[in-house]
């Protein structure tokens, strides 16, 4: 079975492509390399290009006899979306619709969509459930939700079978991977760079949220657990199912200051940080209820404890490991 993975040269995409390849699938990766890296595309075939290029996507689907599409390509930062909303809607919504139109034209009717916890906005419960009302507070979340809402209409009009996975905060690395990009703006790589003095002190955006320590609480899920969820979602479609949305997280919240404390304890050195005002579009809580994924996909996270995630990142970076030898 041949699978097209869009964004397969990115952080989540490369881990997913590896798992799919090892699971016996034929893989073709389509990536624009705007944020992905050609060095990450080790598995299957690789095509550099954009999801909005319908003739290109049609050619790939036809020439590689693709049976299903796993759509990971996206612009994926809340803060960036507040500054460039048009670019986010163009890529995450218009690009997704172009991809779907190419699939319909070539008769490819299985679609796994990588959505986001950003669709929930400011949560009204301790943990987000898929049936909660989605009220995004950023263009990023809005663009993902808009793409989600198109899927039932494609199913009705063309027989598309689909599922959407609302990722929470993917982090960590598998053995042999470099983890997130060295210049990643996500919290864990920034905290590590601050700790080993290869970057500035960590900026903690918001210390007056209505949380126990005042910093934002997030749900961190190991990237290999996310890859397994992608595989389970495809198998769910292969079994004839369609139309479900699943949270993919750890089900456990950790605050930014908890990350600072945990990382500091693991490396034996305080993580330098300073407080900044909360960013527009950032909710206080973003934690998942993963009961639906457990019950319907048979998926549970197995590597998503915060200390394990941090350790996997530290071990994935040779320069980090070398630097830490003088810290411990």
Burial (Cβ within 10 Å: 0-12, 13-18, ≥19) of residue 110 = buried
78 within 8 A of 279, measured Cβ to Cβ = yes
Instruction: Describe the chain by its helix, strand, coil percentages, rounded to 5.
Output: 40, 20, 40
* Residue 166: φ, ψ to 5°: -90, 95
203 within 8 A of 150, measured Cβ to Cβ = no
CA 116 to chain centre: 7
For the chain, the distance separating the N- and C-terminal CA atoms, rounded to the nearest angstrom, is 48
Ramachandran category for residue 235: left, alpha or beta (phi over 0 → left; psi -120 to 50 → alpha): alpha
180 within 8 A of 171, measured Cβ to Cβ = yes
What does the DSSP assignment read for 3-71? Answer: EEEETTTSHHHHHHHHHHHHTT-EEEEEE--SSS-GGG--SSEEEE--TT-HHHHHHHHHHTTEEEEEE
- The rounded distance, in Å, linking the Cα atoms of 268 and 129 is 37
Q: Out of 88, 120, 140, 220, which one is annotated catalytic?
A: 140
3-class secondary structure, 220: strand
Exposure string (b/e) for 41-53, b if CB count within 10 Å is 16 or more?
A: bebbebbebbbbb
Residue 120 appears among annotated catalytic residues: no
Q: Which residues are catalytic?
A: 140
């Amino acid at each position: 079975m041949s699978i097209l993975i869009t964004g397969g040269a990115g952080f989540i995409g490369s881990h997913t492509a590896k798992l799919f390849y090892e699971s016996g699938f034929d893989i073709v990766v389509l990536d624009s390399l705007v944020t992905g890296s050609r060095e990450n595309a080790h598995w299957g075939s690789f095509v550099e290009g954009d999801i909005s290029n319908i003739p290109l996507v049609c050619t790939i689907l036809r020439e590689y006899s693709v049976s299903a599409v796993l759509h990971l390509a996206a612009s994926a930062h809340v803060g960036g979306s507040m500054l460039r909303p048009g670019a986010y809607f163009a890529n995450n919504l218009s690009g997704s619709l172009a991809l779907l139109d190419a699939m319909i034209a070539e008769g490819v009717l299985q679609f796994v969509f990588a959505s986001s916890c950003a669709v929930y906005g400011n949560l009204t419960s301790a943990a987000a459930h898929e049936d909660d009302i989605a009220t995004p507070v950023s263009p990023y979340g809005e663009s993902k939700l808009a793409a989600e809402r198109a899927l039932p209409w494609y199913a009705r009009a063309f027989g598309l079978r689909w599922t959407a996975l609302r990722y929470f905060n993917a982090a960590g690395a598998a053995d042999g991977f470099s983890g997130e990009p060295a210049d990643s703006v996500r919290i864990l790589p920034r905290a590590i760079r601050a700790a080993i003095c290869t970057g500035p002190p960590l900026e903690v955006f918001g210390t007056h949220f209505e949380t126990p320590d005042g910093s934002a609480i997030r749900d961190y899920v190991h990237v290999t657990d996310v890859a397994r969820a992608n595989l389970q979602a495809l198998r769910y479609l292969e079994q004839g199912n369609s139309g479900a949305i699943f949270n993919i997280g750890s089900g456990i919240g950790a605050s930014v200051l908890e990350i600072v404390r945990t990382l500091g304890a693991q490396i034996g050195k305080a993580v330098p940080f300073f407080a900044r005002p909360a960013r527009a579009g950032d909710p206080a809580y973003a934690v998942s209820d993963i009961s639906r994924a457990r019950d319907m996909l048979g998926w549970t996270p197995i590597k998503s404890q915060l200390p394990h995630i941090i350790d996997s990142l530290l071990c994935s970076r040779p320069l980090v490991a070398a630097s830490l030898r003088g810290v411990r």
